């Protein structure tokens, strides 16, 4: 068992060190039966699941996942779940699962979403996705979320930060329970008409970058660190754990194969 929020009065203990990264399983409900999330002895390999991004009002969008020579380029497209949808339809289902579900939040309404959902059964905590910010800006955003909820709070850092150690330390000082990194790298790919699709690059090509940053942050903070970014094999996961992470999060690997969490957890 691994405690992702050891200093929080609310527990966030996971049974395996493998987490489904934000959005990799969408609203979670759509894959729950296939994975057996409501079955106590299901062998899906997941210790926790992070939902797709939630905003105050859900938005329709056109997310894209493009293959590149270096991995997968993900374009968000503005799509998100809504607070009402989560509270009335999704969270009651999440409450029946034998794996904790956290809500991904981001953007200007993140604190308001956390406040709206903090007492909702079925929600084990939140993950705040930070963009590239200064130390003070990151601390302000985390502090705002902490004022809105006492539930466990993970903070996911992007890969392009000039000083991820300083940002991680500031986020923890402001109330975060754990740090996850990296949430991809900014990139773009051309379409057939020559226009560019901008998004974030994931996949095995970014694993060496992610591993370096995870090792640096884990050595500098006294809090759980979740390694992510190109984790696709048990060997990748083991390297992250050896570098100081307490768990790993799967993104593109899980999108490509829902059985990957089981394979990685079993390989550990």
CATH of the domain at 97: 3.20.20.70
Report, as an integer, the average pLDDT of 186-193: 88
Residue 251 has phi, psi (to 5 degrees) of -120, -90
Distance from C-alpha of 29 to C-alpha of 242, rounded to nearest angstrom: 33
243: left (phi over 0), alpha (psi -120 to 50) or beta: alpha
Write the pLDDT tens digit of every residue in 230-253.
999 999 999 999 999 999 999 988
CA dist list (Å): 187 to 80, 111, 134, 191, 198: 21, 28, 21, 13, 6
Q: Is the pLDDT of residue 166 over 90?
A: yes
Domain count, the chain: 1
Residue 169: which domain range? 2-267
* Confidence at 87, pLDDT banded by 50, 70, 90: very high
Q: Which residues pair with 200 in a beta bridge?
A: 74, 186
Write the pLDDT tens digit of every residue in 89-137.
999 999 999 999 999 999 899 999 999 999 999 999 999 999 988 999 9
Contact status, residue 253 vs residue 205, Cβ threshold 8 Å: no
Report, as an integer, the average pLDDT of 187-202: 88
Report, as an integer, the average pLDDT of 65-91: 85
pTM for this model (two decimals): 0.93
124 or 202, which is more confident? 124
């Amino acid at each position: 068992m691994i405690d992702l929020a050891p200093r929080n009065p609310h527990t966030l203990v996971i049974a395996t060190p493998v987490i489904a990264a934000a959005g990799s399983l969408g609203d979670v409900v759509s894959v729950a039966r296939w994975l057996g999330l409501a079955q106590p002895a299901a062998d899906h390999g997941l210790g926790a699941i992070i939902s797709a991004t939630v905003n105050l009002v859900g938005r329709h969008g056109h997310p894209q996942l493009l293959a590149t020579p270096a991995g997968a380029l993900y374009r968000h497209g503005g799509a998100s779940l809504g607070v009402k949808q989560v509270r009335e339809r999704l969270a009651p289902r999440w409450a029946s699962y034998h794996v904790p579900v956290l809500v991904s939040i981001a953007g200007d309404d993140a604190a308001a979403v956390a406040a709206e959902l903090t007492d909702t059964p079925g929600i084990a905590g939140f993950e705040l996705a930070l963009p590239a910010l200064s130390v003070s800006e990151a601390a302000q955003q985390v502090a705002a979320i902490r004022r809105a909820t006492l539930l466990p709070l993970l903070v996911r850092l992007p890969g392009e930060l000039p000083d991820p150690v300083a940002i991680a330390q500031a986020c923890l000082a402001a109330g975060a329970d754990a740090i996850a990194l990296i949430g991809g790298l900014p990139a773009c790919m051309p379409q057939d008409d020559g226009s560019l699709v901008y998004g974030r690059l994931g996949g095995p090509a970014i694993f060496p970058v992610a591993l370096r940053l995870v090792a640096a942050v884990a050595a500098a903070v006294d809090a759980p660190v979740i390694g992510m970014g190109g984790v696709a094999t048990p060997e990748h996961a083991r390297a992250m754990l050896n570098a100081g992470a307490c768990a790993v999060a799967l993104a593109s690997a899980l999108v490509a194969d829902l059985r990957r969490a089981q394979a990685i957890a079993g390989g550990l």
